[in-house]
């Protein structure tokens, strides 16, 4: 069971800011910006490259939801970034798909 599944089942605490039947959003424990949230599907998908056609609706839900959270939390006007890390070079550490939502400062491009 991954760390994020333990957060879903409340075995590990997290600062949860949004939840519905399909996904959970909580604060990253090591924030890289003033706002750093993680949005995860409750049905585990290891990483985006392993998503299947049957995950299409869930993936769409995650993208719509991350935008709604950004809007509701007030990050839309200043701007924000959504990131998915995949595999070693992508910097993936937890093998449970997660969208990083970063906001609250000017983010650099290209990323390091």
Candidates 1, 11, 12, 20: give the one binding ligand AMP (CB under 6 A). Answer: 12
**Member of 2, 3, 17, 59 binding ligand AMP (CB under 6 A):** 3
Q: Are 26 and 7 a contacting pair, CB within 8 Å?
A: yes
For this structure, is 98 an active site residue? yes
Q: Is 48 in the site for ligand AMP (CB under 6 A)?
A: no
| Cis peptide leading into residue 101 (ω within 30°) | no
**Closest CA relative to residue 68, chosen from 97, 25, 98:** 25
Provide the binding-site residues for ligand AMP, judged by CB under 6 A: 3, 12, 14, 28-30, 38, 85, 91-94
Catalytic residues: 98
């Amino acid at each position: 069971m991954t760390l994020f599944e333990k957060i879903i089942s409340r075995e590990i605490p997290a600062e949860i800011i949004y939840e519905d039947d399909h996904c959970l959003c909580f604060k990253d424990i090591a924030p890289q910006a003033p706002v750093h949230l993680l949005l995860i599907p409750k049905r585990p998908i290891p990483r985006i490259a392993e998503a299947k056609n049957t995950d299409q609706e869930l993936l769409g839900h995650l993208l719509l939801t991350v935008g709604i959270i950004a809007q509701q939390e007030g990050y839309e006007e200043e701007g924000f970034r959504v990131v998915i890390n995949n595999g070693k070079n992508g910097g993936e550490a937890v093998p449970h798909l997660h969208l990083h939502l970063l906001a609250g400062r000017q983010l650099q491009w290209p990323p390091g």
